A and B are shown apart, each in its own frame.
Chain A
Amino acid sequence: MTWNKDETMKKLFLTAAALALWAGAARAEIKVVTASSDLKYICERVGGAEVKVESLSSGDQDLHMVEPRPSMVFKLKKADLLLRVGLDLDMWVDSLINAARNPRLFYGAAGYVDASAGMALLEKPEGKVDASMGDIHIYGNPHYWLDPANAKTMAKNILAGLKRAAPEKCAEFDANYAAFIKETDEKLAGWQQRMAPLKGLKVVTYHSSWPYFAARFGLDVAGHVEPKPGIPPSASHLDGLVKKMKAENVKVILTESYYPRKGPDFLAGKTGAAVVTAAVSAGGTKDVGTYFDVFERVITELEKAAEKK
């Protein structure tokens, strides 16, 4: 048996190169887990190449109803940062945090980010709150991300979390954040311009998901397909809503993509209103890939519905 020095050196060099490539590929990314696909999108924008983000829910899911799974525990176990919607909308996250036993993600720990912190909230219930009001959220309506201006607060909370996780990358995060805010402001200005003719448009929505959107763009929410949040529509409620829509000349029904169409279609059949089915989160429908697409799509559909009116 002969020893070929050149051949051995070649093998050693190739092995070292492979190891170097592997080490480069496995660089220290910040592992982020989000409760919603919108938070994933914003985190990817602010974190840039430094983050690897996974969302526990897809955009076509109702965030009230996401079912925690053991595989989600596995994701949280490895994560550096957890971003949640908060305001008790994603309460299912709590059991996952406890099951994952990741010290970075417990409430109050550096890796726990509630994107709703500092948000100006709407529909804050006053006085006694109980189930006679439906599935009410005691701190206010949690669908705040449907005002694109609130993306700036969400991004700010995410930025703070990323800085806690990787203080050495603050400059990069700050630059990404500034670019995201700039784009949000530009898009917001464009959407406000497009929605200006629709100001005062009366709409009926399925669930009370749209108060932030309505407040931002001046829509008038005349009623909901659900009699109260989380309560399925009854025949008598729909009948009353038909009368109200006719009396107030409501011509648009705005419904979230995951809710059944039976109620909205019944109302449309009785009143001649147009049904606008909209994704409320990134990935909610095939043509809504990003958080910004949510607004592009719903505004386009509302413009079409208003034209028909």
Chain B
Amino acid sequence: MRKIIVLALLSGVCGAALAQEAGTPPQGLRGTPANLPDISVIGVIEGHTSSNKADDTRDKLEFSEVETAFQGYIYPEMKADVFLALHKHGTEYESEICEAKVSFLRLADGLSAEVGKVNAEFGKLNKAHTHTRLMIDQPAVLTNFLGTHAFNPQGAALKYLLPLPFYAQAQAGAWNMAGHEHHVEGDNTAEVLDVDQSTVTVVLAPEETEDFSPAGKVYTARLNMSFPLGSGSELELGGSALKGKGSHWEHHEDNIKIAGADFTLKFWPDAYRRFTLQGEYMRLTREVPVGTLKRDGLYLFANYRASKYWNFGARFDYAENAFPAITYERDYALIATRNLTETTTLRAQYKHINLSGEKTDEGWVQLTFGLGPHSHDLE
């Protein structure tokens, strides 16, 4: 896989050079006038409340994320996008490279590639940055199987538009994703006697309640298709597969596979109104030395954009956890969004969580704003 990607990238650079030979017609005006990248900031302020009194983020209104983006062309048909984020993990802010990628927009007819740190296209929602989603939190199945934040490993992906009489794209990615060493170092140590009777500190295996996500060498594949059902409706279907290790594989020696299927159905009755029905199902197969765990999860999301300024949504989540002691989570969420401008939204969300019988009610308000030109790939 790695050799194929390297060869494809090399051929893409040659192809991009050839593309320059075409004459440049007079063009209109667009983007940033100076020779600068598009620079933008997305800010997210969230207020959160919960019936769970042990929740650290309960009854707080605070900045939850700042995303800075630098985007622009670095060569004909080559684009760079760097998204840097500062976001809250528990009670502390942490900086992170959300995405930093170079896109080879055309390696050959219908073929493109992305290299770098990327929100991998696994399923429908993982690729989307949080501020572009029509909900505040992410569905439980994504959290339980792909990680608390998006699954965004380092590596490369090849994408190919299939020569079919409808939109169909196949893609494959080879990635590297760091494990969760930080949980192990700080939290799970013990003092034990060495052979010479001295005391040494050893690291224990992490608890099976830590975050779970794919890690190590991860391979992904996805096929998605789209069918217009009329001038005002469209159905997208997708299937995804992932193979890798678990985020604590050094201790748990687990090999994982995730298979997913998704659909998105959209209707546009007029200029502003839109009805969206979206669902994803995932099955996690986790092979650990003592056996194989099989876990399922899904969400179903409906959204109605009633006007240019308002949209309303509802979501049902069902997700089992990735650990040997299985839990069953059923969530029901209601979401209302007011678009204040093209780049500023005010959103409220209520969620009822039933985690194996333990019930919690949560609520959020979220203000998201954008400064400067900011764009994402077609999602």
The chain A residues found within 8 Å of chain B, CB to CB, are 58, 60-62, 64-65, 67-71, 73-74, 77, 84, 86-88, 91, 94-96, 98-103, 106-110, 112-119, 130-131, 134-135, 138-139, 160-161, 164, 230-232, 258-260
Question: Could you name 25 residue pairs across A and B whose Cβ atoms are closer than 8 Å?
Answer: A58-B231, A61-B271, A70-B226, A71-B226, A71-B234, A74-B167, A91-B30, A94-B375, A95-B378, A98-B105, A98-B378, A99-B378, A101-B111, A106-B106, A112-B27, A114-B27, A114-B30, A116-B29, A119-B28, A135-B342, A135-B343, A138-B33, A161-B25, A230-B341, A259-B308
Is the beta-carbon distance between B106 and A101 smaller than 8 angstroms? yes
Asked whether B270 is an interface residue with its Cβ less than 8 Å from the other chain, the reply is yes
Is the beta-carbon distance between B106 and A88 smaller than 8 angstroms? no
**Bound-state Cα–Cα, A243 to B92, Å:** 52
**Bound-state Cα–Cα, A102 to B111, Å:** 10
Is the beta-carbon distance between A115 and B28 smaller than 8 angstroms? yes
**Bound-state Cα–Cα, A86 to B268, Å:** 24
Please judge, given known A-B contacts A103-B19, A108-B27, A131-B341, whether A71 and B271 are in contact too, CB under 8 Å: no
| Closest Cβ neighbor of B338 among chain A residues | A232
**B 2-20 to A, binary, CB cutoff 8 A, 1 in contact else 0:** 0000000000000000010
Question: Which 9 pairs across A and B sit closest by C-beta, in order of nearness?
Answer: A114-B28, A70-B226, A86-B28, A258-B271, A74-B167, A116-B28, A139-B29, A70-B167, A71-B228
**Chain B binding site: helix, strand, loop or mixed by DSSP?**
loop
| Closest Cβ neighbor of B234 among chain A residues | A69
Is the beta-carbon distance between A65 and B30 smaller than 8 angstroms? no
**Bound-state Cα–Cα, A136 to B28, Å:** 17
**Bound-state Cα–Cα, A118 to B28, Å:** 7
**Bound-state Cα–Cα, A116 to B29, Å:** 8
Is the beta-carbon distance between B227 and A71 smaller than 8 angstroms? yes
Min distance, Cβ A206 to any Cβ of chain B, angstroms: 11
Chain A residues with Cβ below 8 Å from B378 are: 68, 70, 73, 95-96, 98-99
**Bound-state Cα–Cα, A257 to B274, Å:** 17
Is the beta-carbon distance between A65 and B308 smaller than 8 angstroms? yes
**Bound-state Cα–Cα, A179 to B259, Å:** 59
Across the interface, B77 reaches (CB within 8 A) one of A96, A106, A131, namely: A106
| Closest Cβ neighbor of A107 among chain B residues | B27
Is the beta-carbon distance between A135 and B341 smaller than 8 angstroms? yes
| Closest Cβ neighbor of B308 among chain A residues | A65
**Bound-state Cα–Cα, A230 to B342, Å:** 7
Asked whether B289 is an interface residue with its Cβ less than 8 Å from the other chain, the reply is no
Chain B residues with Cβ below 8 Å from A230 are: 341-342
**Bound-state Cα–Cα, A113 to B343, Å:** 27
**Bound-state Cα–Cα, A103 to B105, Å:** 9
Is the beta-carbon distance between B26 and A117 smaller than 8 angstroms? yes
Chain A residues with Cβ below 8 Å from B106 are: 101-103, 106
| Closest Cβ neighbor of B270 among chain A residues | A60
**Bound-state Cα–Cα, A234 to B63, Å:** 28
Please judge, given known A-B contacts A70-B167, A86-B28, A164-B25, whether A131 and B371 are in contact too, CB under 8 Å: yes
Interface size on B, residues (CB 8 A): 52
Across the interface, A117 reaches (CB within 8 A) one of B28, B105, B109, B309, namely: B28
Residues 329 to 379 of chain B near chain A (Cβ within 8 Å): 341-344, 371, 375-378
Is the beta-carbon distance between A62 and B271 smaller than 8 angstroms? yes
**B 79-99 to A, binary, CB cutoff 8 A, 1 in contact else 0:** 100000000000000000000
**B 29-68 to A, binary, CB cutoff 8 A, 1 in contact else 0:** 1110100000000000000000000000000000000000
**B 171-182 to A, binary, CB cutoff 8 A, 1 in contact else 0:** 000000000000
Min distance, Cβ A137 to any Cβ of chain B, angstroms: 10
Min distance, Cβ A107 to any Cβ of chain B, angstroms: 7
Q: Knowing that A67-B274, A106-B76, A260-B308 are A-B contacts, what are 5 other residue pairs whose CB atoms are under 8 Å apart, sorted by A's residue number?
A: A64-B342, A101-B111, A103-B77, A108-B24, A259-B308
Chain A residues with Cβ below 8 Å from B324 are: none
Chain B residues with Cβ below 8 Å from A69 are: 226, 228, 234, 266
Min distance, Cβ A267 to any Cβ of chain B, angstroms: 18
Is the beta-carbon distance between B234 and A70 smaller than 8 angstroms? yes
| Closest Cβ neighbor of A102 among chain B residues | B106
Min distance, Cβ B18 to any Cβ of chain A, angstroms: 9
| Closest Cβ neighbor of A163 among chain B residues | B25
**Bound-state Cα–Cα, A69 to B24, Å:** 28
Is the beta-carbon distance between B105 and A260 smaller than 8 angstroms? no
Is the beta-carbon distance between A86 and B30 smaller than 8 angstroms? yes
**B 307-336 to A, binary, CB cutoff 8 A, 1 in contact else 0:** 111000000000000000000000000000
Min distance, Cβ B27 to any Cβ of chain A, angstroms: 5
Asked whether B291 is an interface residue with its Cβ less than 8 Å from the other chain, the reply is no
Is the beta-carbon distance between B271 and A60 smaller than 8 angstroms? yes
Is the beta-carbon distance between A98 and B377 smaller than 8 angstroms? yes
Asked whether B211 is an interface residue with its Cβ less than 8 Å from the other chain, the reply is no
**Bound-state Cα–Cα, A258 to B161, Å:** 34
Across the interface, B25 reaches (CB within 8 A) one of A95, A112, A115, A135, namely: A112
Chain A residues with Cβ below 8 Å from B169 are: 70
**Bound-state Cα–Cα, A67 to B270, Å:** 12
Min distance, Cβ B238 to any Cβ of chain A, angstroms: 10
Residues 116 to 171 of chain B near chain A (Cβ within 8 Å): 161, 166-167, 169
Please judge, given known A-B contacts A86-B29, A108-B76, A109-B22, whether A131 and B343 are in contact too, CB under 8 Å: yes
